[in-house]
């Protein structure tokens, strides 16, 4: 194609990976970047100049959205994506949204309806779905290699305590300090839902005891666990949080009617292990291998963010806008919302004694009205009278000194 898509990035910290991809993508051009932090804007501008491009930098979103753009990548705070996505689509721009899709059930409804009303492309940048092992599982499941899913597990264990100063800046009300653990579920659950293509219909939530080393940093939340029932009756377990394990664990398993797939867990393991039963019961063959990129491989190999996941989330978004076949791998708004609301509803299960909660099918307009004004969450700016505690184990108030200490570590460039 002769004309490249003009794309802007909102959020230059998390958005740095997407900025570098857009500076080199054959079908897209980075034209604008927005961030409130001046040094990040300067870093983006320098990267663009090095690539022979000129970009416009903005410190406010209101100015940024006025720029001439075909699409926007939302890489701002994780709990703020839906409102900005809605604004962008209503302004005539396609949207690639970073994790998470929405903070409340009301936002989920409004987001879906904005996509339907505007006709703009919405894509969810759940990069863990595109890591080599997870993306290979997705492709093999869709080919029918292991048959229909019966059970699956997704695990995202990442102890963030040491880097807490760098990712929360010592801000008391940073979303990482306020959001309940169950909400951040799409790294563990997402690859299972995209692979199977099935909709969740019920969820039960759990929360572990908050770890002491996170409490010392002003974060009071345990690890989130969701048990999800799919529309075909299969069951998935999703676990994610700050449990003690190094290196961090990004692990997935799918058991089907004809076999199973699981990703390598320990250092030195092959990335993917596949068992397929033969014609005789309980006898089959194993494949143990490291998948390789086969789609846009030359470009993908140059971008390693989140094991290549950042590249593919961005690339498939572009392909979707252009109407190209590979756009089929882009995660649409319905699947994105399915992933996100499982966590929102799982916390309600936790608060009500781990009872099963039905997951609505928000593809259906008749199921939306119940949630249209449902703003229950842990964010006081959004929840209003529906404010939830930050943990099922309590809602403590930390002294300012806790956050002052974290802020000082950040200013000194130190880990906790």
Core vs surface per residue 75-88: b (16+ CB within 10 A) or e: bbbbbbbbbbbbbb
Identify the band that residue 235 occupies on the pLDDT scale cut at 50, 70 and 90: very high
Residue 303 pLDDT exceeds 90: no
pLDDT at 211: 95
pTM for this model (two decimals): 0.95
Residue 309 pLDDT exceeds 90: no
Structure tokens, 141: 């499941």
Residue 212 in contact with residue 202, Cβ under 8 Å?
no
Q: What percent of the chain has pLDDT over 70?
A: 99
Tokens 């939306």 locate to 368
Core vs surface per residue 300-339: b (16+ CB within 10 A) or e: beebebbbbbbbbbbbbbbbbbeeeeebebbbbbbbbbbb
136-152: average pLDDT: 98
Identify the band that residue 267 occupies on the pLDDT scale cut at 50, 70 and 90: confident
Identify the band that residue 283 occupies on the pLDDT scale cut at 50, 70 and 90: very high
Those residues whose C-beta lies under 8 Å from the C-beta of residue 372, and which sit 6 or more positions away, are 106, 109, 110
pLDDT at 2: 65
Residue 305 pLDDT exceeds 70: no
Residue 1 pLDDT exceeds 60: no
52-70 pLDDT, tens digit per residue, is: 999 999 999 999 999 999 9
């Amino acid at each position: 194609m002769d004309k490249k898509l003009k794309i802007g990035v909102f959020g230059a910290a998390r958005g740095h990976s997407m900025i570098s991809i857009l500076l080199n993508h054959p079908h897209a051009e980075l034209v604008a970047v927005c961030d409130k932090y001046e040094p990040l804007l300067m870093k983006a501008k320098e990267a663009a100049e090095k690539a022979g491009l000129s970009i416009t930098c903005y410190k406010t979103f209101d100015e940024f959205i006025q720029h001439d753009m075909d699409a926007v990548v939302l890489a701002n705070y994780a709990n703020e994506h839906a409102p900005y996505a809605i604004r962008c689509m209503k302004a005539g721009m396609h949207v690639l949204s970073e994790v998470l899709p929405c903070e409340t059930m009301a936002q989920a409804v409004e987001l879906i309806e904005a996509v339907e009303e505007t006709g703009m492309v919405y894509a969810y940048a759940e990069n863990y779905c595109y890591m080599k092992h997870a993306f290979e599982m997705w492709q093999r499941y869709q080919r029918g290699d292991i048959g229909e899913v019966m059970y699956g597990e997704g695990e995202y264990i990442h102890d963030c305590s040491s880097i807490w100063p760098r990712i929360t800046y010592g801000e008391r009300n940073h979303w990482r300090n306020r959001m309940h653990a169950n909400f951040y579920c799409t790294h563990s659950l997402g690859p299972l839902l995209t692979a199977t293509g099935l909709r969740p219909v019920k969820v039960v939530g759990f929360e572990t005891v908050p770890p002491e080393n996170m409490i010392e940093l002003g974060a009071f939340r345990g690890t989130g666990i969701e048990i999800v029932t799919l529309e075909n009756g299969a069951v998935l377990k999703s676990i994610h949080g700050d449990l003690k394990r190094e290196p961090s664990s990004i692990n997935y398993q799918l058991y089907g009617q004809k076999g199973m797939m699981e990703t390598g867990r320990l250092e030195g393991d092959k990335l993917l292990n596949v068992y397929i039963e033969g014609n005789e019961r309980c006898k089959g063959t194993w494949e143990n291998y490291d998948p390789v990129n086969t789609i846009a491989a030359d470009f993908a190999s140059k971008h390693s963010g989140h094991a290549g996941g950042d590249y593919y989330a961005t690339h498939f978004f572009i392909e979707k806008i252009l109407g190209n076949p590979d756009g089929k791998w882009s995660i649409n708004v319905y699947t994105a919302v399915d992933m996100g609301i499982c966590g929102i509803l799982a916390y309600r299960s936790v608060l009500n004694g781990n009872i099963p909660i039905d997951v609505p099918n928000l593809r259906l307009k008749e199921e939306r009205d119940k949630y249209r004004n449902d703003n229950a969450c842990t964010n006081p700016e959004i929840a209003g009278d529906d404010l939830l505690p930050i943990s099922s184990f309590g809602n403590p108030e930390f002294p300012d000194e806790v956050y002052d200490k974290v802020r000082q570590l950040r200013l000194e460039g130190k880990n906790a």
